[in-house]
């Protein structure tokens, strides 16, 4: 018995008669997450049988087709059909199902059935909205006839089944209809998308063939129904569908939690076309995107790997449709909510180009998989990406600054090879591959309202937001205020380590309002023409910047950032004229005034307890009083000298996730990233207010 299996209970003679659970660990985990596991341990044992009751046997014999689910030689599940005159399905006894009908042209499982194969069957009668399920193992194959030893049999309610009446059988038989080979692709074409857009029904096959699945082992095929449009087409390789309340067995969801591979079948009831999709499923249990479909209890995102379409393969024609009455209580996709949720959704991007910019620095260009327009971004913002690295239990999520002006056809990131994710990008990602990304984000952006001269100041890989800002300013034809001059200053260890050096020098030649200064801290006679020798420091800035009024943008390693900020403040540069972004542990401590002045000390007003909280940093043995003016817990930790790893500082990447030992936190702006249980993303979190004048306390594992 699975370690997750609940304690067995006595089953009535007409139900599940085995002591072992009819569910495998994935199904039990899904039931647990939905809060129905204990209930299903009783109810499911009444409804699931290891034999077919008489009414099911009669029902199967009346049908002219049956939906089947199984797996091919690679383990990929497929949903498919077998057809025949009523009676082609027979039941020699209550434990045996015989399917004598024939496969249809293009059936992906047509040649793969063999003795020992797991199989799921769904008998469905659209006219009466009846359906019954049967799962088992093939024990014999006689010509095209398949004999199945039944392991599970149960009925399903009529929910979400659209009523149709079969009006003609054998359409096109004897002609060339359905004889054409299937059209196979790795993405949806326009005809496929049109069929999906008007579909109100599809079938999904899934499986758990593991020997550890016990009596839950097998293949399954299920019905899904909704209003036309309930299959949302995100792009030519991604679909999203709502998942409504069902029988609560969670057979499909449980299988997908074990193995995300699935097979979808969509029938064109007008033409007889069959659309088979091999997909990978992602179950969305909660989050803002779930709100975009009223009535959905979950969403499932289907990522398409293979498309097979067989034209006029089903020789059946049907009457008009009467939609299931349950659909009246369900909503449809809310476009405004979808737009908002899309910023939180992962989508596939195709790598169209990879180029080396400097030793250990490489640019990656991405395009939407369907060639559609990409979401806009501001120069300085980052792109969250998710990498599925073999051997790692969880994907790597990182944010990389977009390193070019916005182009609605492609994105560019430029990555230094350091750390697990960046190294994997360098070693494995090449043109033609796909990665997952979210919409760009981040608060470090170029200010467009000022006409002051701009200094773009960076070191190392901190050049990435600066090159995006520069290219945006140079390409801007919007009529907005432009800086009177742009000073681009970048430092590296050696001259050959300057990314985009040739691009920068060419831009300087083409634009009279641009000055480029490249510095190399280690002398290199072979590349001396590209850069001057020395570090980028305040003395150097004073030597190259004429007297004037500037807005400064900084990005680079922590020590560089702090030195530049403090040096600029010592020159009486106003704090609000210095904008910066730091990576990793880099954090710049701001000062409120350029230099200390003599003044009479004023008493500090005590912080109101209803607006303040005590924050204790357990590992560093520090504590301090937080108030809303202190910003996020990350800002507060850094202000109190507590080092914290961070990256995006926007609640996306999860780098700053910190264990909360006691107390409660809240998020003024909801985070896009996943928050591990018992942790907080402290770049976005603040202490939760207790109310009633009571002071709250938050203890962090820092």
Domain boundaries, the chain: 54-340, 347-437, 453-582, 609-700
Q: Are strands 65-71 and 77-83 parallel, antiparallel or unpaired?
A: antiparallel
What pLDDT sits at residue 394?
76
Q: What confidence score (pLDDT) does residue 39 get?
A: 84
> DSSP for 288-316?
GGGGGBTT-SEEEEEEEEEEEEETT---E
Q: Quick one: fold of 54-340?
A: Pnp Oxidase; Chain A (2.30.110)
3-state secondary structure of 325: helix
Kindly state the tokens that stand for 244: 């409504």
CATH classification code of 453-582: 3.40.50.80
593 class by beta-carbon count within 10 Å (0-12 exposed, 13-18 middle, 19+ buried): exposed
CATH of 609-700, picked from 3.40.50.150, 3.10.20.30, 1.10.10.10, 3.90.1150.10, is: 3.10.20.30
Residue 528 to residue 241: CA distance in whole angstroms: 59
692 vs 69: CA distance, rounded Å: 59
Q: How far is CA 115 from CA 50, 142, 550, in A?
A: 20, 10, 78
- Cα distance between residue 652 and residue 669, in whole Å: 12
Q: Which CATH superfamily is domain 347-437 in?
A: Translation factors (2.40.30.10)
pTM above the 0.75 mark? no
Token digits of residue 130: 């009846």
State how far the alpha carbon of 319 is from the alpha carbons of 415, 479, 566, 623, in Å: 58, 59, 77, 73
Distance between CA atoms of 289 and 337, rounded to whole angstroms? Answer: 7
Averages of pLDDT over each 10 residues, the chain, 702 residues: 40 69 91 86 84 94 96 96 95 96 91 94 94 96 94 89 91 59 90 95 96 92 95 91 89 93 96 95 84 89 94 92 89 70 75 95 92 83 89 84 89 93 94 91 79 92 94 82 90 91 94 94 58 88 89 89 90 87 57 40 42 85 85 85 78 84 85 81 84 71 91
Distances (CA, A) of 47 to 42, 116, 203, 205: 9, 26, 22, 21
> Which tokens is 516 given?
């480029």
pLDDT for 245 equals: 82
- Residues 68 and 166: their CA atoms lie apart, in Å, by 19
């Amino acid at each position: 018995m699975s370690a997750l299996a609940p304690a067995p209970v006595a089953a009535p003679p007409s139900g599940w008669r085995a002591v072992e659970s009819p569910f495998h660990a994935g199904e039990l985990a899904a039931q647990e997450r939905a809060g129905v596991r204990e209930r299903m341990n009783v109810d499911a044992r009444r409804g699931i049988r290891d034999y077919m009751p008489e009414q099911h046997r009669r029902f199967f014999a009346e049908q002219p087709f049956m939906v089947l689910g199984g797996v091919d030689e690679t383990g990929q599940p497929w949903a498919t059909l077998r057809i025949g005159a009523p009676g082609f399905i027979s039941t020699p006894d209550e434990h045996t199902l015989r399917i004598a009908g024939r496969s249809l042209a293009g059936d992906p499982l047509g040649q793969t059935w063999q003795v020992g194969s797991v199989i799921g069957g769904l008998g469905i009668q659209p006219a009466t909205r009846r359906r019954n399920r049967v799962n088992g193992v093939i024990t014999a194959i006689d010509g095209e006839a398949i004999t199945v030893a039944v392991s599970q049999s149960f009925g399903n309610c009529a929910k979400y089944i659209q009523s149709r009446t079969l009006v003609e059988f054998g359409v096109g038989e004897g002609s060339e209809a359905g004889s054409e080979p299937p059209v196979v692709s790795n993405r949806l074409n326009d005809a496929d998308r049109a069929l999906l857009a008007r579909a109100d029904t599809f079938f999904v096959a899934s499986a758990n063939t593991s020997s550890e699945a016990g009596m839950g082992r097998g293949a399954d095929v299920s019905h899904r129904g909704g209003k036309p449009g309930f299959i949302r087409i995100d792009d030519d390789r991604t679909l999203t569908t709502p998942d409504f309340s069902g029988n609560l067995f969670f057979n499909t969801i449980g299988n997908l939690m074990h193995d995300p591979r699935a097979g979808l079948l969509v029938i064109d009831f007008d033409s007889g076309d069959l659309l088979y999709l091999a997909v990978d499923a992602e179950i969305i249990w909660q989050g803002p995107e779930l709100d975009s479909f009223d009535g959905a209890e979950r969403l499932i995102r289907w990522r398409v790997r293979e498309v097979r379409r067989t034209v006029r393969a089903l020789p059946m024609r049907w009457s008009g449709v009467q939609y299931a009455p349950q659909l009246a209580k369900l909503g449809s996709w809310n476009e405004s909510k979808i737009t908002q949720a899309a910023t939180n959704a992962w989508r596939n991007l195709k790598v169209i180009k990879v180029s080396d910019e400097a030793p250990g620095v490489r640019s990656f260009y991405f395009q939407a998989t369907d060639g559609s327009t990409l979401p806009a971004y501001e120069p300085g913002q980052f792109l969250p990406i998710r990498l599925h690295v073999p051997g790692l239990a969880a994907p790597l999520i990182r944010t990389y600054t977009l390193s070019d002006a916005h182009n609605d056809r492609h994105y560019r990131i430029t990555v230094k090879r350091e750390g697990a994710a960046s190294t994997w990008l360098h070693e494995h990602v090449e043109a033609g591959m796909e990665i997952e990304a979210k919409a760009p984000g981040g608060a470090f952006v170029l200010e467009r309202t000022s006409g002051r001269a701009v200094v773009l100041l960076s070191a190392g890989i901190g050049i990435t937001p600066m090159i995006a800002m520069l290219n945006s300013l140079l390409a801007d034809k919007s009529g907005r205020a432009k800086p009177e001059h742009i000073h681009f200053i970048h430092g590296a260890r050696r001259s050959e380590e300057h990314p985009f050096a040739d691009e920068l020098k060419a831009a300087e030649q083409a634009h009279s309002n641009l000055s480029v200064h490249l510095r190399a801290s280690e002398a290199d006679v072979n590349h001396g023409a590209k850069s001057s020798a020395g570090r980028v420091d305040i003395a150097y800035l004073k030597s190259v910047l004429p007297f004037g009024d500037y807005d400064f943008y900084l990005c680079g390693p922590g020590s560089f950032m702090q030195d530049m900020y403090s040096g600029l403040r010592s020159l009486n540069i106003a704090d609000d004229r210095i904008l910066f972004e730091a990576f990793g542990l880099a954090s710049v401590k701001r000062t409120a005034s350029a230099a200390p002045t003599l003044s009479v000390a004023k008493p500090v007003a005590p912080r109101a307890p209803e607006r303040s909280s005590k924050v204790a940093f357990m590992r560093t043995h520090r504590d301090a009083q937080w108030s809303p003016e202190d910003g996020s817990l990350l800002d507060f930790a850094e202000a109190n000298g507590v080092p914290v790893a961070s990256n995006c500082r926007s609640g996306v990447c999860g780098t700053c996730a910190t264990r909360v030992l006691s107390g409660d936190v809240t998020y003024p702006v909801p985070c896009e990233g996943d928050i591990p249980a018992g942790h907080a993303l402290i770049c976005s979190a603040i202490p939760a207010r207790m109310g009633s004048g009571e002071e709250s306390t938050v203890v962090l594992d820092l």
